[in-house]
């Protein structure tokens, strides 16, 4: 079986390309588990012109992205530009060269999913996040005015405020809806993404397949370590819908009731713009008990989680955040906002505590609840780990994905390309321009 992936991750070729980013680890993990079971190719964006190459058992197809000059970047940000619709021809060129039996698109937020309009090669799309829905929660507690008032002047000059990101989301959402419209098969993993798919692609078939996590999270296990100071941990990305303002408000509440704690934040730095926006220009001081770790590697992340007493997930919208999944599989007691698909990851009051997103009082109360009854916290962590180990079982996930591939292929006729590529591309261009 020849399968071509389109992904924003270069997979296991990251190190070879000197771009060994720690994130999107599940793509690498899945590739590692499946590459000896199928004839796998991966196409991805890259900032340099590199010919296709083979590394190990996988063939890689780098796709040259738009120019990265400062002037070009400024122009793209100013007009909230997304990837060119003419990239579809580049995607189709890869398909013609790779000659796959099946195409697997990782994510609806990238333009890769449009390639299926130009061929009847069976295609399945994995849902990561859904920008169409994320836009509704973008300015949840941090308002447009907060961003306007507290962003750096430099961000306005270079057109890179969160307002510009939001406007760009509108264009991505329009393209995403076009992808949903033309997709017949989806892979998801939560009740949330299944329900969203029912609305955006009512006639499509939905398959459940979970994600493989990074290897270190399978081989480590959290053990309770008594300490005088409560240790909290959160992994958070620098965007306004990730709930940072709720975390900072919660920290201030813990300070007011004299809880002795330290709250470590991985993923953002103290001087990041989103911190000032979330703290309303620092007029609401950031608690000294909050420690910003910036970006850390896998080993440091695991160490931080193992040393913590609780993991707190704060986002206003998610599908199945890997950061929460990683804490759950280690067995760390977890508190999470009941946002998007998080309710599919842990049962409330059995495997952790779910709270309303944007509510710092409920968050602080949940922290106190587990602190005051830590036997319950330990039991939650144990039960969550047991289910997470089953959910993220590498062999089962690999086997299930191969079964999905086989099911799709068995229901399809012989693959072929559309011959009128230029006409199809023109049709797509007009559709995207109209939606934008």
Would you give the distance in Å from CA 7 to the centre of its chain? 12
Give mean pLDDT, residues 412-425: 38
Contact call for residues 8 and 126 (beta carbons, < 8 A): no
Q: Please state, in angstroms and rounded to a whole number, the distance separating the CA atoms of residues 79 and 387.
A: 45
Q: What band does 423 get if pLDDT is binned at 50, 70 and 90?
A: very low
Q: Please state, in angstroms and rounded to a whole number, the distance separating the CA atoms of residues 5 and 221.
A: 32
Q: Which of 67-81, 196-210, 220-234, 246-260 is predicted with the least confidence, judged by mean pLDDT?
A: 67-81
Start-end ranges of CATH 3.40.50.2000 in the chain? 2-212+394-424, 215-391
Q: Please state, in angstroms and rounded to a whole number, the distance separating the CA atoms of residues 25 and 23.
A: 5
∠ CA 243-293-288, rounded to 5°: 75
The SS3 of residue 114 is helix
Q: Please state, in angstroms and rounded to a whole number, the distance separating the CA atoms of residues 185 and 162.
A: 33
Q: Please state, in angstroms and rounded to a whole number, the distance separating the CA atoms of residues 6 and 120.
A: 16
Q: What band does 221 get if pLDDT is binned at 50, 70 and 90?
A: very high
Strand partners, 25: none
Q: What band does 433 get if pLDDT is binned at 50, 70 and 90?
A: very low
Instruction: Tell whether the model's pLDDT for residue 389 goes beyond 50.
Output: yes
The interaxial angle of helices 360-372 and 374-391, nearest 10 deg, is 110
| pLDDT number for residue 71 | 62
Distances (CA, A) of 10 to 31, 106, 301, 399: 10, 12, 22, 23
Give mean pLDDT, residues 387-406: 97
Instruction: Tell whether the model's pLDDT for residue 420 goes beyond 70.
Output: no
Alpha helices in 63-203 (DSSP H): 70-78, 87-98, 131-137, 144-150, 153-157, 162-182, 191-200
- pTM, rounded to two decimals: 0.89
The SS3 of residue 39 is strand
Neighbours of 66 (CB within 10 A): 15
Distances (CA, A) of 120 to 156, 203, 242, 331, 418: 44, 17, 38, 44, 8
pLDDT digits (tens, 9 = 90+) for 170-196: 999 999 999 999 999 999 999 999 999
Q: Please state, in angstroms and rounded to a whole number, the distance separating the CA atoms of residues 13 and 394.
A: 20
- The per-residue pLDDT of the chain, averaged, comes to 90
Instruction: Tell whether the model's pLDDT for residue 24 goes beyond 80.
Output: no
Instruction: Tell whether the model's pLDDT for residue 252 goes beyond 50.
Output: yes
Give mean pLDDT, residues 24-40: 90
| pLDDT number for residue 175 | 95
Instruction: For residue 242, give the nearest of 342, 309, 315 by alpha carbon.
Output: 315
Q: Please state, in angstroms and rounded to a whole number, the distance separating the CA atoms of residues 86 and 84.
A: 5
Q: Please state, in angstroms and rounded to a whole number, the distance separating the CA atoms of residues 127 and 162.
A: 24
Q: What are phi and psi of 296, to 5 degrees?
A: -130, 160
| pLDDT number for residue 10 | 92
CATH class of 2-212+394-424: alpha beta
Phi-psi region of 348 (alpha: psi -120 to 50; beta: other; left: phi over 0): beta
Q: CB neighbours of 215 closer than 8 A, spacing ≥ 6?
A: 29
Q: Please state, in angstroms and rounded to a whole number, the distance separating the CA atoms of residues 124 and 106.
A: 9
Express as a percent the part of the chain with pLDDT over 90. 78
Q: What band does 82 get if pLDDT is binned at 50, 70 and 90?
A: low
Q: CB neighbours of 418 closer than 8 A, spacing ≥ 6?
A: 118, 119, 120, 424
| pLDDT number for residue 425 | 36
Helix H or strand E encompassing 104: strand 102-106
Q: What are phi and psi of 380, to 5 degrees?
A: -60, -45
Q: CB neighbours of 253 closer than 8 A, spacing ≥ 6?
A: 360, 361, 364
Q: What are phi and psi of 331, to 5 degrees?
A: 95, 15
Task: Considering the domain delimited by 215-391, tell me its CATH architecture.
Answer: 3-Layer(aba) Sandwich (3.40)
pLDDT digits (tens, 9 = 90+) for 42-68: 999 998 889 999 999 999 999 988 655
The SS3 of residue 228 is coil
Does the CA dihedral 11-44-159-171 come out positive or negative?
Answer: negative
């Amino acid at each position: 079986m020849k399968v071509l992936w389109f992904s924003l991750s270069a997979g296991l070729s990251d190190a070879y390309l000197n771009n060994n980013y720690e994130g999107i680890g599940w793509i690498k993990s899945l590739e590692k588990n499946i590459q000896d079971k199928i004839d796998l190719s991966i196409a991805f964006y890259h900032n340099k012109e590199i010919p296709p190459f083979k590394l190990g058992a996988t063939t890689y197809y780098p796709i040259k992205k738009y120019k990265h000059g400062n002037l070009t970047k400024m122009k793209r940000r100013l007009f909230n530009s997304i990837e060119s619709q003419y990239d579809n021809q580049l995607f189709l060129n890869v398909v013609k060269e790779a000659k796959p039996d099946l195409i697997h698109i990782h994510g609806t937020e990238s333009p890769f999913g449009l390639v299926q309009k130009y061929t009847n090669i069976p295609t399945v799309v994995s849902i990561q996040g859904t920008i169409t829905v994320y836009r509704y929660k973008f300015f949840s507690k941090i308002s447009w005015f907060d961003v306007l008032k507290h962003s750096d002047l430099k961000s306005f000059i270079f057109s890179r405020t969160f307002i510009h990101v939001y406007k760009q989301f509108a264009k991505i959402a329009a393209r995403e809806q076009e992808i949903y419209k033309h997709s017949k098969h989806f892979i998801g993993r939560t009740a949330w993404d299944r329900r969203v798919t029912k609305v955006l692609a009512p006639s499509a078939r939905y398959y459940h397949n979970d994600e493989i996590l990074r290897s270190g999270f399978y081989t480590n296990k959290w053990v309770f370590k008594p300490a005088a100071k409560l240790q909290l941990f959160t992994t958070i990305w620098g965007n306004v819908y990730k709930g940072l303002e709720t975390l900072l408000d919660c920290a201030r509440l813990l300070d007011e009731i004299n809880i002795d704690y330290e709250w470590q934040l991985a993923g953002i730095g103290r001087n990041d713009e989103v911190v000032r926006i979330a703290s309303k220009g620092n007029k609401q001081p950031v608690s000294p008990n909050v420690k910003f770790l910036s970006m850390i590697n896998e080993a440091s992340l695991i160490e931080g989680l193992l040393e913590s007493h609780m993991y707190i997930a704060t986002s206003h919208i998610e599908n199945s955040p890997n950061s929460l999944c990683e804490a759950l599989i280690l067995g760390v007691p977890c508190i999470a906002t009941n946002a998007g698909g998080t309710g599919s990851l842990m049962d409330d009051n059995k495997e952790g505590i779910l709270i309303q997103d944007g509510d710092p009082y409920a968050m602080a109360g949940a922290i106190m609840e587990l602190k005051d009854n830590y036997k319950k916290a330990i039991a939650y962590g144990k039960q969550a780990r047991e289910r997470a180990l089953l959910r993220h079982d590498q062999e089962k996930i690999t086997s299930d994905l191969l079964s999905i591939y086989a099911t799709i292929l068995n229901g399809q006729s012989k693959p072929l390309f559309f011959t009128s590529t230029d006409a199809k591309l023109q049709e797509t261009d007009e559709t995207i321009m109209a939606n934008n």
